[in-house]
Amino acid sequence: MKKVMTIFGAIIITSFIVTSCGDASKDKKEETKSAEIIETRMDTIKDSDNGNTVTEKTVQANLSCNLFFEGIDFTDEETGKTSKGEVGERKEFKTKKSYTFCYDSEDFHHLTLKGTGGDLSFFVKVGNKLVYKKEGFDLVDKFTFTSKDFNFRMGESYSIVIKQNETTIFNGKIDSQGCM
């Protein structure tokens, strides 16, 4: 009986050692796998940090360009009644990308970009001469330019150009004429 217990004990101890060693090698394999994954992730981070270019796709801009002018205050000579000029959108500019304003009865009030887009550039030109520019901005909801940024004068022909990266996404014309 003593011999049976000794053999039985030896079998238990041997199986314990074999099982433990087997699990240890399995754990080492799992640790190695985990270490490789961590190293790979770290290498990817290191590559980005070293200045390697990462290609990002720019989402195409989706925007509208709205132009607003304000009518000049007007006094009726017969009645003496004064009418206050109102600010209004010139829808022709949004639909046809051109507008001719009456320099003797209205003044530029503001221009609003509405929508979304990244890496945008906005230019106002008279002929080939650059009057105003804003480059490298992102549009999240809306952005407004006023007469403090630029203005339109009589006798000039202006172009409004909006680009995303190097692609022109809007090109509008603004002219002036006397109407009274």
CATH code: domain of residue 155: 2.60.40
In this structure, the answer to whether residues 78 and 97 fall within a common structural domain is yes
In this structure, the answer to whether residues 67 and 135 fall within a common structural domain is yes
In this structure, the answer to whether residues 8 and 94 fall within a common structural domain is no
pTM: 0.64
Report which of residues 79 and 39 the model is more confident about.
79
In this structure, the answer to whether residues 69 and 93 fall within a common structural domain is yes
User: Of 54, 81, 98, which marks where a domain is finished?
Assistant: 54
Query: In degrees rounded to 5, what are phi and psi of residue 178?
Result: -80, 135
Give the model confidence (pLDDT) of 107-156 as tens digits. Answer: 999 999 999 999 999 999 998 899 999 999 999 999 999 999 999 988 89
Helix (H, G, I), strand (E, B) or coil at 20: helix
In this structure, the answer to whether residues 112 and 49 fall within a common structural domain is no
Q: How many domains does the chain have?
A: 2
The confidence score (pLDDT) of residue 51 equals 58
Domain residue limits at 28: 1-54
User: Of 15, 33, 54, which marks where a domain is finished?
Assistant: 54
In this structure, the answer to whether residues 6 and 79 fall within a common structural domain is no
In this structure, the answer to whether residues 159 and 93 fall within a common structural domain is yes
Burial track 49-88 (b if 16+ CB lie within 10 A, e otherwise): eeeeeeeeeeeebebebbbbbbbeeeeeeeeeeeeeeeee
Cα–Cα–Cα angle for 178, 153, 114, rounded to 5 degrees = 105
Q: What is the mean pLDDT of residues 74-88?
A: 86
In this structure, the answer to whether residues 74 and 34 fall within a common structural domain is no
In this structure, the answer to whether residues 66 and 140 fall within a common structural domain is yes
Q: What is the mean pLDDT of residues 33-37?
A: 32
In this structure, the answer to whether residues 45 and 101 fall within a common structural domain is no
In this structure, the answer to whether residues 160 and 123 fall within a common structural domain is yes
In this structure, the answer to whether residues 85 and 27 fall within a common structural domain is no
User: Of 54, 76, 96, which marks where a domain is finished?
Assistant: 54
